[in-house]
């Protein structure tokens, strides 16, 4: 009998044996919470400008039509206030988006510079190696 | 005595809300009154079950019990009352899991520890649902954090399942489809198990997706590694859920962060062998009644699943060991702890 305490050892041995005969050959996977598809800048800018849709304000009750009309009417009456809220939020979103994109640009520039330096370093090493070889 | 409960948000399928409602039923049995309020009330909540936060009007000697499950604006002001206070922390998931998928949820999780620390220090009794959670409270400066586990009412679950359910091997996991629950690992481990040992095996994943996009990612993964062998079920009735437990051959939980994880106890109740990662509150919930392994080698997890499904003696031993765990989290025992915590807070003023 395999006891719960032994089970892990038994499973490890079985996995090892399976691998020895070619089993469990699945490629290592990379999915993790870090590797999600990146939200594109265009999408970020699209989301930054918030545009609530009046048509989505309503009631889900069976006879909710009057409630829907009341809610939409109230929103129209409060438009000045709501527009302020939307404008303030959009301004904040736009600034944040701007910051993120400027960081992106700086990161791109740093990576490009780093790549160029790496290439130059590799070229210099290669050149020294050749000089050593031919010089000798 | 009156005990008012404050929830960050209330929803019909929210575990914390259901815990608050279960507490309310107990309070009523004990002859205690009070209201339950929430900052946000989701559609679908029975009318009047939870009131808006502005309805909180505690009398001087009433106790206010806060169920803390995430950052909520204005909670500090709401809790700024001179009443005896109990805080129950239901666990906050680390923000890093959410940044790529749900940044707003990430913000909520990132802001939560600071808010929780402030609220916990102001409480007369601060408790976590597990020692794991209670340790966070200690780090926040709470001198003597208590543990009040999740109320687990076995009487509602009905009869356990058979020692070995009929049919093809069925592996089950129950939990919201969210990054820290690592459904991706469950799907991959299952795919490896299925390929090596049981081509007819099925995986059932019960729980709604954190977002439609994240749900689609998991479905895409299934399409790649185990097409046609995985069922996603969301919004299932309790009866359907109990049926799924009864027909499962093993319960596979590879979550990387759990404060308590009630489905583990449910699996124990139904006699389903559990394989889980020893993280967060999981080890103290499962004790020696589950197969615990890190998910760094999924081939080992696949072999553990195979053992749990096929080794009848191992299954029987695991089932035997669930008895003391279920006893440790018996309803009456937890209810007593809750009562003591509330009484202690009331006596502190």
Distance from the Cα of B182 to chain A's closest Cα (Å) equals 8
Q: B304–A18: do the CB atoms touch at under 8 Å? A: no
Whether the pLDDT of residue B21 is over 80: the answer is yes
Distance CA A63, CA B118 (A): 45
B158, B186 Cβ separation under 8 angstroms: no
Residues from chain A contacting residue B225 (CB–CB below 8 Å): 26
Interface test with A, best of B47, B220, B296, B299 (most A CBs within 10 A): B299
**pLDDT tens profile B29-77:** 999 999 999 988 888 888 888 999 888 999 989 999 999 999 988 899 8
Distance CA B319, CA A82 (A): 59
Report which of residues B146 and A133 the model is more confident about. Answer: B146
B125-128 and B202-206 strand pairing: unpaired
Residues from chain A contacting residue B180 (CB–CB below 8 Å): 33
Tell whether B224 is within 8 A of chain A (Cβ). no
Q: A18–B303: do the CB atoms touch at under 8 Å? A: yes
CB proximity list for B223: less than 8 A, separation 6 or greater: none
B99 pLDDT band, cuts 50/70/90, is confident
Other CB atoms within a 10 A radius of the CB of residue A6 amount to: 12
Q: How many Å separate Cα B307 from the centre of its chain? A: 26
Q: Tell me how many residue pairs between chain A and chain B have CB atoms under 8 A apart.
A: 81
Tell whether A33 is within 8 A of chain B (Cβ). yes
Tell whether B32 is within 8 A of chain A (Cβ). no
DSSP-based helix, strand, coil % in chain B, nearest 5: 45, 15, 40
Residue written as token pair 């899991």: B97
Distance from the Cα of B317 to chain A's closest Cα (Å) equals 7
Whether the pLDDT of residue B260 is over 70: the answer is yes
Phi, psi (5° rounding) for residue B267?
A: -60, -40
Q: What is the pLDDT of residue B221?
A: 94
Distance CA B339, CA B27 (A): 9
Least-confidence region, from A60-74, B177-191, B288-302: A60-74
Tell whether B85 is within 8 A of chain A (Cβ). no
Tell whether A113 is within 8 A of chain B (Cβ). no
Whether the pLDDT of residue A85 is over 50: the answer is yes
pTM of the shown model:
0.81
By Cβ distance, the residue of B100, B299, B317 closest to A19 is B299
Distance from the Cα of A87 to chain B's closest Cα (Å) equals 19
Q: A4–B196: do the CB atoms touch at under 8 Å? A: no
What is the complex's ipTM, to 2 decimals? 0.88
Distance CA B190, CA B88 (A): 36
Q: A1–B191: do the CB atoms touch at under 8 Å? A: no
Q: B311–A2: do the CB atoms touch at under 8 Å? A: yes
Helices and strands in chain A, H and E counts:
4, 0
**pLDDT tens profile A4-45:** 999 999 999 999 999 999 999 877 665 555 444 566 777 777
Tell whether A28 is within 8 A of chain B (Cβ). no
Q: B314–A4: do the CB atoms touch at under 8 Å? A: yes
Distance CA B321, CA B326 (A): 9
Distance CA B134, CA B79 (A): 20
Distance from the Cα of A1 to chain B's closest Cα (Å) equals 6
Q: B188–A29: do the CB atoms touch at under 8 Å? A: yes
Q: What is the pLDDT of residue A36?
A: 47
Tell whether B150 is within 8 A of chain A (Cβ). no
């Amino acid at each position: 009998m395999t006891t719960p305490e032994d089970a892990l050892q038994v499973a490890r041995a079985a996995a090892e044996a399976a691998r020895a005969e070619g089993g469990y050959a699945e490629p290592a996977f990379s999915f993790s919470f870090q590797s999600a598809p990146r939200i594109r800048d265009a999408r970020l800018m699209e989301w930054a400008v918030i545009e609530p849709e009046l048509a989505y304000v309503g009631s889900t009750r069976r006879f909710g039509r009057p409630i829907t009309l009341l809610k939409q009417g109230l929103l129209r009456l409060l438009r000045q206030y709501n527009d302020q809220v939307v404008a303030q939020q959009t301004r904040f979103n736009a600034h944040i988006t701007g910051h993120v994109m400027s960081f992106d640009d700086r990161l791109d520039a740093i990576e490009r510079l780093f790549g160029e330096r790496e290439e130059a370093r590799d070229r210099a090493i290669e050149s020294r190696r050749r000089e050593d070889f031919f010089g000798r | 005595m009156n005990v008012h409960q404050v929830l960050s948000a209330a929803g019909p399928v929210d575990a914390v809300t259901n815990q608050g409602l279960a507490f309310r039923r107990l309070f009523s049995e004990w002859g205690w009154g009070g209201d339950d309020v929430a900052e946000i009330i989701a559609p679908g909540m029975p009318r009047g079950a939870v009131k808006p936060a502005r309805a909180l009007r505690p009398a001087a000697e009433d106790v206010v019990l806060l169920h803390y499950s995430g950052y909520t604006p204005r909670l500090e002001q709401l809790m700024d009352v001179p009443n005896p206070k109990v805080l129950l922390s239901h666990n906050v998931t680390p923000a890093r899991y959410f940044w790529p998928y749900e940044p707003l949820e990430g913000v909520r999780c990132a802001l939560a520890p600071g808010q929780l620390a402030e609220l916990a220090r102001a409480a007369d009794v601060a408790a976590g649902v597990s020692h794991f959670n209670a340790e966070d409270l200690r780090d926040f400066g709470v001198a003597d954090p208590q543990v009040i586990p999740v109320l687990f009412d076995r009487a509602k679950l009905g009869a356990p399942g058979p020692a070995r359910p009929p049919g093809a091997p069925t592996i089950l996991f129950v939990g919201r489809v969210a990054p820290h629950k690592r459904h991706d690992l469950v799907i991959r481990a299952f795919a490896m198990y299925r390929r090596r040992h049981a081509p007819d095996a099925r995986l059932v994943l019960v729980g709604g997706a954190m977002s439609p996009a994240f749900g689609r990612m998991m479905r895409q993964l299934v399409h790649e590694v185990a097409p046609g062998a995985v069922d996603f079920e969301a919004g299932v009735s309790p009866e359907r859920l109990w049926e799924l437990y009864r027909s499962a051959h093993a319960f596979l939980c590879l979550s990387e962060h759990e404060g308590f994880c009630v489905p583990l106890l449910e699996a124990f109740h139904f006699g389903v062998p559990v394989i889980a990662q020893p993280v967060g509150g999981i080890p103290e919930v499962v004790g020696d009644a589950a197969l615990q392994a890190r998910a760094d080698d999924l081939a080992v997890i696949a072999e553990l699943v195979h053992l749990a499904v096929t080794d009848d003696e191992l299954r029987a031993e695991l089932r035997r060991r669930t008895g003391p765990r279920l006893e440790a989290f018996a309803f009456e025992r937890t209810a007593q702890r809750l009562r003591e915590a509330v009484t202690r807070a009331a006596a502190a003023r």
